[in-house]
C-alpha cells in the first residue's frame, strides 16, 4: 500500500507519536483524520492544511470512533477517490499509570484506576480495531488484495514491566496479544494488523516524570543513548504501511533497552 492519495485515521493525534505520524503521512502525500480528546487536535489539523481533518473523540466510545471513521471516508471521497475509503489506522491514544499493588502504608491499589487504564489502553484499542476493520473490509482490493492496515501502539512495558506498572503492562500486553489473532482473522478481508512497542520516547507522557528520571532512562538505552524521537516512530509506521509483508507482528522500537 502506498501513502500517497490514501486516507488514514490517527488516534492520539494532538501530540507526541500520533502528531508526528500525521505530519509524516501528510508530507508523503496522504490524507489524515486526527482524533483526540484534546482541543489541540484542531490546531494541529489546521497546521497540516487541506489534507487533514480533526475529530474530537474518546477511543472508548463507539459513537466517537465511528464518527472518526466516517470522517476519513468522507475525506477520501471529497478528493474524488470514492471506493478507497479508510486505508489505514495508526492508533496512538493511551495513558500511562503507575501504582503499586500495596503502597508503603499497606493500602491496596485503587481498582478504579486499574480499570481506567485497561479501558483506555486495551478496550480502546479493540474499539478502534473493530470499527476500522469493518470499514476497511468494504474497500476495493488493491495490490495483493490488500484493503487496509491497522497499526496499534503497545510498549516495551508489555514485556519488561517495572514495579508499579501492573495496570499499564497488562494493558499493553493485551495489545500485543491481540495482534496475531486479529491479523489471522482479518486476512480474509485483506487487512493487516501490526503493533509497535516503543521504548522511552520524547513525548508529553515523558514530560510528566522528573528530569533526573528521564535522563537515567536515556542513559540506559544501549544505542543511541537518548530518548526516541516521535518522527522515528512515524517513520516505522510509514514503513509498515508500505511493506505488505509486515503483518501479525510486534516490533520493538527501543534502541536495545531492556527495562530493569
Q: What is the pLDDT of residue 120?
A: 98
pLDDT digits (tens, 9 = 90+) for 197-251: 999 999 887 776 777 877 888 899 999 999 999 999 999 999 999 999 999 999 9
Q: Which three cell numbers, joined as nine digits, stand for 56?
A: 474530537
Q: Which pLDDT band holds residue 162 (cuts at 50, 70, 90)?
A: confident
Whole-number average pLDDT of the chain: 94
Q: What is the pLDDT of residue 211?
A: 79
DSSP secondary structure string, 38-78? STHHHHHHHHHGGGEEEEE--TT-HHHHHHHHHHHHHHHHH
Find the mean pLDDT for residues 162-175. 95
Question: Residue 173 to residues 8, 27, 186, 195: CA-CA distances in angstroms?
Answer: 25, 32, 20, 11
Cβ proximity of 68 and 9 under 8 Å? yes
Q: What is the pLDDT of residue 228?
A: 95
Per annotation, catalytic residue among 1, 75, 86, 168:
168
Burial (CB < 10 A; 0-12, 13-18, 19+), residue 212, is exposed
Q: What is the pLDDT of residue 208?
A: 66
Cβ proximity of 36 and 56 under 8 Å? yes
pLDDT digits (tens, 9 = 90+) for 49-86: 999 999 999 999 999 999 999 999 999 987 655 457 89
Find the mean pLDDT for residues 78-104. 85
Find the mean pLDDT for residues 137-141. 95
Q: Which of 148, 144, 170 is nearest to 157 (CA)?
A: 170
114 given a catalytic annotation: no
pLDDT at position 102 over 70: yes
Q: Residues 7-253: name the CATH superfamily.
A: NAD(P)-binding Rossmann-like Domain (3.40.50.720)
**What pTM does this model have?**
0.95
Cβ proximity of 31 and 54 under 8 Å? no
Q: Which three cell numbers, joined as nine digits, stand for 243?
A: 511493506
Amino acid at each position: 500500500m502506498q501513502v500517497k492519495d490514501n486516507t488514514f485515521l490517527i488516534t492520539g493525534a494532538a501530540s507526541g507519536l500520533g502528531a508526528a505520524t500525521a505530519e509524516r503521512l501528510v508530507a508523503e502525500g496522504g490524507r489524515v483524520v486526527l482524533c483526540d480528546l484534546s482541543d489541540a487536535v484542531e490546531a494541529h489539523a489546521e497546521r497540516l492544511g487541506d489534507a487533514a481533518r480533526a475529530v474530537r473523540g474518546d477511543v472508548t466510545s463507539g459513537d466517537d470512533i465511528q464518527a472518526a471513521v466516517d470522517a476519513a471516508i468522507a475525506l477520501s471521497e471529497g478528493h474524488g477517490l470514492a471506493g478507497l475509503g479508510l486505508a489505514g489506522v495508526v492508533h496512538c491514544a493511551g495513558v500511562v499509570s503507575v501504582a503499586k499493588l500495596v503502597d508503603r502504608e499497606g493500602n491496596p491499589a485503587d481498582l478504579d484506576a486499574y480499570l481506567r487504564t485497561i479501558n483506555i489502553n486495551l478496550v480502546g484499542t479493540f474499539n478502534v480495531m473493530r470499527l476500522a476493520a469493518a470499514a476497511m473490509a468494504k474497500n476495493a482490493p488493491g495490490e495483493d488484495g490488500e484493503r487496509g492496515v491497522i497499526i496499534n501502539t503497545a510498549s516495551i512495558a508489555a514485556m519488561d514491566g517495572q514495579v508499579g506498572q501492573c495496570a499499564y503492562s497488562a494493558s499493553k500486553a493485551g495489545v500485543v496479544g491481540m495482534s496475531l489473532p486479529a491479523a489471522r482473522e482479518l486476512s480474509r478481508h485483506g487487512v493487516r494488523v501490526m503493533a509497535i512497542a516503543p521504548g522511552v520516547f520524547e513525548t508529553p507522557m515523558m514530560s510528566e516524570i522528573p528530569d533526573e528520571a528521564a535522563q537515567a532512562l536515556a542513559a540506559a538505552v544501549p544505542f543511541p543513548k537518548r530518548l526516541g524521537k516521535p518522527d522515528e516512530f512515524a517513520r516505522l509506521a510509514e514503513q509498515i504501511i508500505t511493506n505488505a509483508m509486515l503483518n501479525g507482528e510486534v516490533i520493538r522500537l527501543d534502541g536495545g533497552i531492556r527495562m530493569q
